[in-house]
Structure 1
Amino acid sequence: MNDNRPLLEVQNLKKYFKTKRGMLHAVDDVTFTIGKGKTLGVVGESGCGKSTTGRAILRLIEPTGGCVLFDGEDISRLSNAKMRAKRREMQIIFQDPFSSLDPRMSVSQIIEEPMRLHGMYKSSHERETQTLKLMDTVGLARRLYNTYPHELDGGRRQRIGIARALSLNPKFIVCDEPVSALDVSIQAQILNLMKDLQAELGLTYMFITHDLSVVHHFSDDIAVMYLGKLIEKAPAAKLFENPMHPYTKALLSAIPSPNLDKQNERILIKGEITSPINPDAVCRFAKRCPYASDQCRQCEPTLIEKEKDHFISCFLHQDG
């Protein structure tokens, strides 16, 4: 067994949706890897395909094409029964900690449900013991054992969601904007908790967010998506020090600086957004890019490794 092999390998992943006007290319030919125990942050505007990518990897929605290798095994063609068993190793934390929890179930029932459905423990006593252990792990007071989601604040609800995701002892968790619905002070608590759990349990994260200031400190690598395409991927520090794609530069310029005398010069993105329905094989950012050439409007750039571990899909950095 190759210990250096990535835990997750996504190859040419596609997800199209049929609409009255044609095929909507939500995720289009996306390729990346995530190493064991690492975090890949996935960023971009709303509607760029971040969440759809995460759900397609877990097969919560079926991909249109491509393949996903999890620990060396191609899971994109597993039967439903085998995929159900595989999901013990792959979990998700949803964006809204309220709508993702069953309001008719108590805290303990929500956390215990995955263990019961997968037959992990033989007795209810064992499941109860594990539920209390998980509550301790995520910082939920045991006195909340029989309370319901509507009685709790957003931070505690998200801790329930994290405990539920951990209940099956997964290796990989898709974190779909897990702190965007929370107050800033609670965001920090949840992010610190997730970091501690990663170090303790060796978890691998795909962290989906639109908040670049959060992803900078939370991720090992960052992937930038635009209209279903992966346009740049690099180690977090390298991406912030040397962004290459014009879209990435514009995103980074929007991050507020704590130094009022040294604010970033804002790069405004203007122009018409390309339709994701039946798109032409051209650069999808060309209509909004100040550097776009005829080549950008006629051909589609490919994702290349411009520098070590720094991938870019832009004609400005290709052809030498």
Structure 2
Amino acid sequence: MENQVFIEVKGLKKYFKTSKGMLHAVDDVNFAIERGNTLGVVGESGCGKSTLGRLLLRLHEATEGEILYDGADITNLKGKDLKQFRTRVQMIFQDPSGSLDPRKCVRDLIGESLKVHRSCRNRREYEERVREIMDIVGLSARYAESFSHELDGGRRQRIGIGRALALNPEFIVCDEPVSALDVSIQAQILNLLMDLQEQKGLTYIFITHDLSVVKHISHEIMVMYLGQCVEYAKKRELFENPFHPYTQGLLNAVPVPSLEGRKLSAQVMRGELTSPIEPKPGCRFASRCPYAKERCKKENIPLKEVEPGHFAACILYE
């Protein structure tokens, strides 16, 4: 069945206990992803993007809310059920150097999950599977005995992608997988991810702070600010008609190469970030918003469907 909802998140929250109170890392987030699509998640550092990705893979336990994976609630899975679920989902990390064991060669890094889940019947099948994955992600067979620190950033990230593909997952969380790479290598990795999605029908969440990257790879985009979703729309709609002042500020901040230059927007985001620890009621962007009214600082503004499929949390569109 095409265009079916594959992953649905309802009222998802994750709070961390700190010495000053509860830090609201993810606060009442809702969205749905269709099978084979990519949801881009953008926002400034500290907005909860990576925590959201880890919640979806059950690397963090949710404080509240539901995560429906292919129609089943996986929020409270335990034991064998959780281990089985983790064969269907994987993660590609931001820094390949930090996520790869420097003591293991490329063959062992890619094949580690095959051993953990006993996916191969014998050594020959294991070796064939590792060679197949290396070929899929564009790693030459001569690197099989190399260590990750001997390779450049692009090849290290290909190891990370190969490791994620080893168990034939259906869903992959890409946590800023190209932010540590040169621009030319970024394009290669993005094209590889898109080719793999087309060939294998993969579903992605692509976490990034780079709007040009998210525009290239995403079908839908969710904009997060201090743990909350402030805007959610199809890619084209969000870039052509952004509703939330924060989204507008992000887009206005993107430099555009031009011989004539471009007049900078007058709506520059200023002001201090609101603390995510025990936040008071009100829009968390109000202290930086040029359109903020008194009401914005006192009432929580819910996410509302302003146009079909385009949601925003702002009083300007009530």
TM range (shorter): over 0.9
Q: Secondary structure at the match of 1:189?
A: helix
How many angstroms apart in 2 are the aligned matches of 1:279 and 1:213?
A: 31
Match of 1:308 in 2: 308
How many angstroms apart in 2 are the aligned matches of 1:157 and 1:76?
A: 32
Is it true that 1:107 corresponds to 2:106 in the alignment?
yes
Q: Secondary structure at the match of 2:268?
A: coil
Match of 2:241 in 1: 242
**In the TM superposition, what is the alpha-carbon distance from 1:265 to its structure 2 partner?**
2.5
List runs of 5+ in structure 2 lacking aligned partners: none
The answer to whether the 8 A contact 1:5-1:71 is kept is no
Match of 1:116 in 2: 115
Match of 1:265 in 2: 264
**In the TM superposition, what is the alpha-carbon distance from 1:259 to its structure 2 partner?**
2.2
Alignment map for 1:61-210 (pairs within 5 Å): 61-210=60-209
How many angstroms apart in 1 are the aligned matches of 2:142 and 2:272?
A: 53
The answer to whether the 8 A contact 1:10-1:69 is kept is yes
How many angstroms apart in 2 are the aligned matches of 1:161 and 1:3?
A: 29
List runs of 5+ in structure 1 lacking aligned partners: none
How many angstroms apart in 2 are the aligned matches of 1:9 and 1:315?
A: 26
**Which 4+ runs in 1 deviate beyond 4 A?**
none
Q: Secondary structure at the match of 2:30?
A: strand
| Percentage identity across paired residues of the two chains | 57
How many angstroms apart in 2 are the aligned matches of 1:6 and 1:97?
A: 31
The answer to whether the 8 A contact 1:92-1:173 is kept is yes
1:26-73 Cα deviation digits (max 9, x unpaired)? 000000011100000000000000000000111111111101000001
1:2-28 Cα deviation digits (max 9, x unpaired)? 654311101111010000000000000
**In the TM superposition, what is the alpha-carbon distance from 1:100 to its structure 2 partner?**
0.1
Is it true that 1:296 corresponds to 2:296 in the alignment?
yes
How many angstroms apart in 1 are the aligned matches of 2:307 and 2:123?
A: 54
Alpha-carbon RMSD = 1.0
Q: Which amino acid aligns with 1:118?
A: H
**In the TM superposition, what is the alpha-carbon distance from 1:80 to its structure 2 partner?**
3.4
How many angstroms apart in 2 are the aligned matches of 1:211 and 1:196?
A: 20
TM-score by length of 1: 0.97
How many angstroms apart in 2 are the aligned matches of 1:260 and 1:205?
A: 36
How many angstroms apart in 2 are the aligned matches of 1:145 and 1:89?
A: 25
The answer to whether the 8 A contact 1:256-1:264 is kept is no
Q: Which amino acid aligns with 1:315?
A: I
